Amino acid sequence: MNEFYQKDIISVKDLEKPQFEKIFAATDRIIQMDPNERRELGRGKTLGYLFFEPSTRTTLSFQAAMALIGGTSIGISDVSLSSTKKGESLADTLRMMSIYSDILALRHSLDGSSRFAAEISSKPVINAGSGTEEHPTQAIQDLYTIKKEKNKIDGLKIGIIGDLKYGRTVYSLLYALANYDVDIRLISPESLKIRSDSIYEIQKKLSLKESTNLEEYIDELDVIYVTRIQKERFPDEEEYQKVRGSYKIGLDVIQKMKENAIIMHPLPRIDEISTDVDNTPQAKYFKQAEYGKFTRAALLGLILNQNGF
């Protein structure tokens, strides 16, 4: 029996190392599979996506992933054109989507929105980003990227840089990394430090050090995971202005990195990685976005097929 069949993917905390490894193995199979065989996995199935916040990669990669396994996608990515605008509740919108589709992907600005959706929906729900809380499918693609590009996860020193307070990808990534033997360096402005209450449960499992100074750790990191300062989540624009542009990864920073270190970013980037860096061997963020299509296809295939693949 495939343990992912009809399962909701709400939080990385619901997954452990064996589950991650199964998703990575399924992703490898998806990439290598005969296209006709791959299209059988989603044949006749519909993904319903509901995006109450802007997105490029997550919406597109979910649609591309569903197409890859032979299914179709329907969805709302501009809620101002949906009946939400007339006052329809989130619960009723979710009920409608679960009538019309076989699996749902939800992005919403509220923490807890996906857990709520899973209670309402008669079909499995995938959290495609909930408030500042979590983005589990991003963490799956992030770990898969590390595994592919560094050939391992255990034993690495990983620096997470930027907005550690509001960036939801950071939390899902840390919850996922807590299953591995890694050294973590958290580098952020003082006002954007990690929310210690959110990592309370995993703190004992992780070897963590914090700093505001990237220079302190740059030459010892194997993975540099850069994040955007999340302007839209600041309650006060003035506070954002104080920290904007705090870290910039340019060719000068690459000179200080270990030669075989990699740079990742969940994207979108604003100015925290210079475009000069894009063509360096260290830049893996576009590859990371590409892996997202395959990890999501694997996850959709596992959730939709009782016997797996």
Q: Catalog residues that contact ligand CP under the rule CB under 6 A.
A: 55-58, 129, 135, 138, 266-268
Instruction: Measure the CA–CA gap between 149 and 48, rounded to whole angstroms.
Output: 32
| 157 tagged catalytic | no
Nearest approach, Cβ of 259 to ligand CP (angstroms)? 27
| 57 tagged catalytic | yes
CA 174 to chain centre: 11
Q: Which of 27, 45, 46, 58 is catalytic?
A: 58
Q: Which lies closer to ligand CP via its Cβ, residue 227 or residue 305?
A: 227
The burial of 32, by beta-carbon neighbours within 10 Å (0-12 exposed, 13-18 middle, 19 or more buried), is given as: exposed
- Residues 113, 51 contacting (CB under 8 angstroms): no
Q: Which lies closer to ligand CP via its Cβ, residue 58 or residue 132?
A: 58
Q: In angstroms, what CA-CA distances link 110 with 113, 134, 246?
A: 5, 10, 27
Q: Which of 7, 38, 45, 107 is catalytic?
A: 107
Nearest approach, Cβ of 102 to ligand CP (angstroms)? 22
Q: Residue 1 CB: number of other CB atoms within 10 A?
A: 7
Q: Which of 57, 108, 165, 228 is catalytic?
A: 57
Phi, then psi, of 12 in degrees rounded to 5: -65, -25
Nearest approach, Cβ of 296 to ligand CP (angstroms)? 11
Nearest approach, Cβ of 51 to ligand CP (angstroms)? 8
| 59 tagged catalytic | no
| 46 tagged catalytic | no
Q: Which lies closer to ligand CP via its Cβ, residue 128 or residue 304?
A: 128
| 39 tagged catalytic | no
Q: Is 107 helix (H, G, I), strand (E, B) or coil?
A: strand
Query: What amino acid positions are annotated as catalytic residues?
Result: 57-58, 86, 107, 135
